Structure 1
Amino acid sequence: MSKKVRYTLEYPVRCSPAILYEFLSTSTGLQEWFADKVEDKDGRFSFAWNGSTEEAEVVESEENKSIRFHWLSSPKDEYFEFSIDKSEVTNQTILVINDFADKKEIKDQSQLWETQVKDLFHRLGN
Protein backbone atom coordinates (compact mmCIF):
# COMPACT_ATOMS: atom_id res chain seq x y z
CA MET A 1 0.00 0.00 0.00
CA SER A 2 1.50 3.32 -1.04
CA LYS A 3 1.86 6.09 1.50
CA LYS A 4 -0.60 8.91 1.05
CA VAL A 5 0.67 12.45 0.62
CA ARG A 6 -0.73 15.65 2.06
CA TYR A 7 -2.19 18.21 -0.30
CA THR A 8 -3.67 21.65 0.32
CA LEU A 9 -6.58 23.49 -1.29
CA GLU A 10 -7.46 27.15 -0.73
CA TYR A 11 -10.76 28.94 -1.36
CA PRO A 12 -11.56 32.62 -0.80
CA VAL A 13 -14.83 32.98 1.15
CA ARG A 14 -17.11 35.97 1.63
CA CYS A 15 -18.15 35.54 5.26
CA SER A 16 -16.80 36.04 8.74
CA PRO A 17 -14.45 33.43 10.27
CA ALA A 18 -17.00 32.81 13.07
CA ILE A 19 -19.81 31.90 10.64
CA LEU A 20 -17.48 29.75 8.52
CA TYR A 21 -16.17 27.94 11.61
CA GLU A 22 -19.73 26.93 12.56
CA PHE A 23 -20.09 25.19 9.17
CA LEU A 24 -16.74 23.40 9.64
CA SER A 25 -16.93 22.32 13.27
CA THR A 26 -20.52 21.44 14.21
CA SER A 27 -22.61 18.47 13.18
CA THR A 28 -25.41 20.82 12.08
CA GLY A 29 -23.04 22.90 9.97
CA LEU A 30 -21.25 19.92 8.41
CA GLN A 31 -24.56 18.26 7.57
CA GLU A 32 -25.44 21.35 5.50
CA TRP A 33 -22.68 20.67 2.95
CA PHE A 34 -20.23 17.89 3.83
CA ALA A 35 -22.31 14.75 4.40
CA ASP A 36 -25.90 13.55 4.19
CA LYS A 37 -26.05 13.07 7.96
CA VAL A 38 -23.61 14.06 10.70
CA GLU A 39 -23.75 13.18 14.38
CA ASP A 40 -21.35 14.36 17.07
CA LYS A 41 -20.80 12.77 20.45
CA ASP A 42 -17.92 13.84 22.69
CA GLY A 43 -15.68 14.96 19.82
CA ARG A 44 -16.36 11.87 17.73
CA PHE A 45 -18.21 12.57 14.50
CA SER A 46 -20.18 10.08 12.45
CA PHE A 47 -20.54 11.04 8.76
CA ALA A 48 -23.05 9.26 6.51
CA TRP A 49 -23.14 9.33 2.70
CA ASN A 50 -25.46 7.15 0.59
CA GLY A 51 -25.89 4.57 3.32
CA SER A 52 -22.21 4.21 4.29
CA THR A 53 -20.82 5.71 7.49
CA GLU A 54 -17.32 6.87 8.43
CA GLU A 55 -16.23 7.96 11.89
CA ALA A 56 -13.70 10.65 12.71
CA GLU A 57 -12.47 12.22 15.90
CA VAL A 58 -11.49 15.82 16.47
CA VAL A 59 -7.77 15.78 17.30
CA GLU A 60 -7.18 19.52 17.35
CA SER A 61 -9.30 22.66 17.22
CA GLU A 62 -8.98 26.37 17.78
CA GLU A 63 -12.22 28.33 17.70
CA ASN A 64 -12.72 30.39 14.53
CA LYS A 65 -9.26 29.28 13.30
CA SER A 66 -9.02 25.54 12.57
CA ILE A 67 -10.32 22.06 13.21
CA ARG A 68 -8.52 18.79 12.46
CA PHE A 69 -10.29 15.45 12.11
CA HIS A 70 -8.76 11.98 12.04
CA TRP A 71 -10.66 9.22 10.27
CA LEU A 72 -10.71 6.26 12.66
CA SER A 73 -10.06 3.91 9.70
CA SER A 74 -6.89 5.80 8.61
CA PRO A 75 -3.30 5.71 9.86
CA LYS A 76 -2.67 7.96 12.88
CA ASP A 77 -0.58 10.50 10.93
CA GLU A 78 -3.32 11.16 8.34
CA TYR A 79 -6.09 13.69 8.86
CA PHE A 80 -8.25 16.26 7.15
CA GLU A 81 -8.19 19.79 8.40
CA PHE A 82 -10.10 23.00 7.82
CA SER A 83 -8.22 26.23 8.58
CA ILE A 84 -9.46 29.77 8.34
CA ASP A 85 -6.89 32.29 7.19
CA LYS A 86 -6.98 35.98 6.32
CA SER A 87 -5.27 37.42 3.26
CA GLU A 88 -2.98 40.20 4.43
CA VAL A 89 -3.33 41.93 1.05
CA THR A 90 -7.12 41.82 0.56
CA ASN A 91 -8.23 41.07 4.15
CA GLN A 92 -10.41 38.32 2.64
CA THR A 93 -11.25 35.15 4.57
CA ILE A 94 -9.57 32.05 3.09
CA LEU A 95 -10.71 28.46 3.70
CA VAL A 96 -7.68 26.15 3.67
CA ILE A 97 -8.26 22.39 3.41
CA ASN A 98 -5.49 19.90 4.14
CA ASP A 99 -6.14 16.26 3.28
CA PHE A 100 -4.27 13.08 2.36
CA ALA A 101 -4.56 10.95 -0.78
CA ASP A 102 -2.49 8.63 -2.95
CA LYS A 103 -0.50 10.72 -5.45
CA LYS A 104 -2.51 9.44 -8.39
CA GLU A 105 -5.81 10.22 -6.62
CA ILE A 106 -5.11 13.85 -5.65
CA LYS A 107 -6.80 15.25 -8.76
CA ASP A 108 -9.98 13.21 -8.16
CA GLN A 109 -10.00 14.02 -4.44
CA SER A 110 -9.51 17.73 -5.21
CA GLN A 111 -12.50 17.64 -7.56
CA LEU A 112 -14.56 16.00 -4.83
CA TRP A 113 -13.58 18.78 -2.41
CA GLU A 114 -14.43 21.33 -5.12
CA THR A 115 -17.97 19.92 -5.30
CA GLN A 116 -18.32 19.90 -1.51
CA VAL A 117 -17.02 23.46 -1.18
CA LYS A 118 -19.49 24.64 -3.86
CA ASP A 119 -22.28 23.28 -1.63
CA LEU A 120 -20.75 25.11 1.34
CA PHE A 121 -20.56 28.37 -0.61
CA HIS A 122 -24.18 27.95 -1.71
CA ARG A 123 -25.22 27.58 1.95
CA LEU A 124 -23.14 30.63 2.89
CA GLY A 125 -24.67 32.67 0.08
CA ASN A 126 -21.33 33.03 -1.77
Structure 2
Amino acid sequence: MATLSMSKKKLFTADYEIHASIKMLYPYIQTASGLAEWFAEDVRINNEDKSFTFFWDNEEHKAKQSAHRTNHFARFEFLPENEEDSKDPSYFELRLEFNELTQSVYLKVMDYSDFDDHKELQDLWGGLIEALRKTVGG
Protein backbone atom coordinates (compact mmCIF):
# COMPACT_ATOMS: atom_id res chain seq x y z
CA MET A 1 0.00 0.00 0.00
CA ALA A 2 1.37 3.42 -0.95
CA THR A 3 1.94 6.00 1.74
CA LEU A 4 0.66 9.51 1.33
CA SER A 5 3.07 12.41 1.41
CA MET A 6 2.66 14.97 4.16
CA SER A 7 3.62 17.81 1.81
CA LYS A 8 0.96 17.39 -0.85
CA LYS A 9 1.16 20.22 -3.32
CA LYS A 10 -1.58 22.84 -3.50
CA LEU A 11 -2.75 25.09 -6.29
CA PHE A 12 -2.93 28.81 -5.59
CA THR A 13 -4.76 30.96 -8.13
CA ALA A 14 -5.35 34.70 -8.24
CA ASP A 15 -6.24 37.35 -10.81
CA TYR A 16 -4.57 40.76 -10.87
CA GLU A 17 -5.62 43.69 -13.02
CA ILE A 18 -2.70 45.32 -14.82
CA HIS A 19 -3.08 48.59 -16.73
CA ALA A 20 -0.97 47.65 -19.75
CA SER A 21 -1.55 45.91 -23.05
CA ILE A 22 -1.15 42.17 -23.41
CA LYS A 23 1.55 42.65 -26.06
CA MET A 24 3.51 44.87 -23.69
CA LEU A 25 3.12 42.46 -20.75
CA TYR A 26 3.93 39.20 -22.52
CA PRO A 27 7.76 39.62 -22.56
CA TYR A 28 7.61 40.20 -18.78
CA ILE A 29 6.04 36.78 -18.18
CA GLN A 30 7.92 34.74 -20.78
CA THR A 31 11.52 35.95 -21.13
CA ALA A 32 14.41 35.68 -18.68
CA SER A 33 15.15 39.41 -18.93
CA GLY A 34 11.48 40.32 -18.42
CA LEU A 35 11.06 38.00 -15.42
CA ALA A 36 14.28 39.35 -13.88
CA GLU A 37 12.73 42.82 -13.73
CA TRP A 38 9.96 41.85 -11.29
CA PHE A 39 9.71 38.14 -10.50
CA ALA A 40 13.14 37.15 -9.19
CA GLU A 41 16.41 38.79 -8.19
CA ASP A 42 17.88 37.41 -11.40
CA VAL A 43 16.80 35.00 -14.13
CA ARG A 44 19.18 33.35 -16.53
CA ILE A 45 18.56 31.02 -19.43
CA ASN A 46 20.86 28.18 -20.40
CA ASN A 47 20.97 28.24 -24.19
CA GLU A 48 21.99 24.58 -24.45
CA ASP A 49 19.02 22.99 -22.71
CA LYS A 50 16.76 26.09 -22.63
CA SER A 51 16.36 25.83 -18.85
CA PHE A 52 15.69 28.91 -16.76
CA THR A 53 17.49 29.54 -13.47
CA PHE A 54 15.63 31.75 -11.00
CA PHE A 55 17.59 33.38 -8.17
CA TRP A 56 15.95 34.26 -4.84
CA ASP A 57 17.83 34.90 -1.58
CA ASN A 58 21.12 33.54 -2.99
CA GLU A 59 19.43 30.26 -3.94
CA GLU A 60 18.94 29.07 -7.47
CA HIS A 61 15.92 27.17 -8.71
CA LYS A 62 15.93 25.59 -12.16
CA ALA A 63 12.85 25.33 -14.32
CA LYS A 64 11.85 24.50 -17.87
CA GLN A 65 9.31 26.50 -19.78
CA SER A 66 6.93 23.59 -20.23
CA ALA A 67 4.34 25.48 -22.28
CA HIS A 68 3.62 28.89 -23.72
CA ARG A 69 1.46 30.60 -26.26
CA THR A 70 2.54 33.98 -27.58
CA ASN A 71 0.62 36.84 -25.95
CA HIS A 72 -1.41 34.38 -23.85
CA PHE A 73 0.53 32.44 -21.21
CA ALA A 74 3.79 30.93 -20.03
CA ARG A 75 4.18 27.93 -17.75
CA PHE A 76 7.37 27.04 -15.91
CA GLU A 77 7.88 23.63 -14.34
CA PHE A 78 10.57 23.37 -11.70
CA LEU A 79 13.12 20.63 -12.27
CA PRO A 80 12.79 17.87 -9.66
CA GLU A 81 15.04 18.01 -6.61
CA ASN A 82 13.96 14.57 -5.36
CA GLU A 83 11.96 11.53 -6.43
CA GLU A 84 8.68 12.91 -5.09
CA ASP A 85 9.14 16.10 -7.13
CA SER A 86 9.65 14.10 -10.32
CA LYS A 87 6.28 12.40 -9.81
CA ASP A 88 4.44 15.64 -8.97
CA PRO A 89 6.50 18.66 -10.12
CA SER A 90 5.89 22.20 -8.88
CA TYR A 91 5.05 24.80 -11.48
CA PHE A 92 3.73 28.29 -11.95
CA GLU A 93 1.72 29.62 -14.84
CA LEU A 94 1.22 33.25 -15.77
CA ARG A 95 -1.77 33.79 -18.06
CA LEU A 96 -2.82 37.08 -19.69
CA GLU A 97 -6.56 37.55 -20.06
CA PHE A 98 -8.57 40.39 -21.59
CA ASN A 99 -12.01 41.22 -20.23
CA GLU A 100 -14.11 42.46 -23.16
CA LEU A 101 -16.76 44.00 -20.90
CA THR A 102 -14.39 46.17 -18.84
CA GLN A 103 -11.61 46.42 -21.45
CA SER A 104 -9.19 45.37 -18.69
CA VAL A 105 -6.14 43.12 -18.81
CA TYR A 106 -5.67 40.59 -16.03
CA LEU A 107 -2.70 38.46 -15.08
CA LYS A 108 -3.93 35.12 -13.79
CA VAL A 109 -1.38 33.41 -11.54
CA MET A 110 -1.44 29.67 -10.91
CA ASP A 111 1.17 28.45 -8.44
CA TYR A 112 1.29 24.71 -7.80
CA SER A 113 3.69 24.04 -4.95
CA ASP A 114 4.03 22.59 -1.47
CA PHE A 115 3.83 26.10 0.01
CA ASP A 116 1.08 25.61 2.60
CA ASP A 117 0.54 29.14 4.00
CA HIS A 118 -2.13 30.57 1.69
CA LYS A 119 -2.00 34.06 3.24
CA GLU A 120 1.78 34.26 2.91
CA LEU A 121 1.60 33.06 -0.70
CA GLN A 122 -1.11 35.64 -1.42
CA ASP A 123 1.11 38.37 0.10
CA LEU A 124 4.13 37.14 -1.88
CA TRP A 125 2.31 37.23 -5.21
CA GLY A 126 0.70 40.56 -4.30
CA GLY A 127 4.17 42.05 -3.78
CA LEU A 128 5.46 40.54 -7.02
CA ILE A 129 2.50 41.93 -8.96
CA GLU A 130 3.08 45.39 -7.44
CA ALA A 131 6.69 45.18 -8.66
CA LEU A 132 5.40 44.25 -12.14
CA ARG A 133 2.94 47.16 -12.11
CA LYS A 134 5.72 49.59 -11.20
CA THR A 135 7.96 48.14 -13.91
CA VAL A 136 5.37 48.48 -16.67
CA GLY A 137 3.73 51.62 -15.29
CA GLY A 138 0.40 49.88 -14.90
**Within 1, Cα distance between the matches of 2:120 and 2:60?**
20
Residues 1:109 and 2:114 aligned together: no
Match of 2:34 in 1: 29
Match of 1:56 in 2: 63
Q: Is the 8 A contact 1:101 1:109 kept in 2?
A: no
Q: C-alpha offsets along residues 19-68 of structure 1, whole Å, 9 cap, x if unaligned?
A: 11110111111110111111012431001122111011000000000000
Opposite residue 33 of structure 2, the aligned amino acid is: T
Shift of 1:104: 3.9
Gaps of 5+ in 1: none
Match of 2:15 in 1: 10
Opposite residue 109 of structure 2, the aligned amino acid is: I
**Within 1, Cα distance between the matches of 2:36 and 2:135?**
11
After the TM superposition, list the runs of 4 or more consecutive aligned residues in structure 1 that deviate by more than 6 angstroms: none
Residues 1:120 and 2:132 aligned together: yes
Residues 1:46 and 2:53 aligned together: yes
SS in 2 for 1:38: strand
User: What percentage of aligned pairs have identical amino acids?
Assistant: 30
Residues 1:98 and 2:110 aligned together: yes
TM-score (normalizing by structure 2): 0.84
Residues 1:78 and 2:90 aligned together: yes
* 101-110 vs 22-31, greater mean Cα deviation: 101-110
Q: CA RMSD in A?
A: 1.6
SS in 2 for 1:15: coil
Match of 2:100 in 1: 88
Larger Rg, first or second structure (1 or 2): 2
Q: Is the 8 A contact 1:28 1:38 kept in 2?
A: yes
Gaps of 5+ in 2: 1-5
**Within 1, Cα distance between the matches of 2:66 and 2:115?**
24
Opposite residue 60 of structure 1, the aligned amino acid is: A
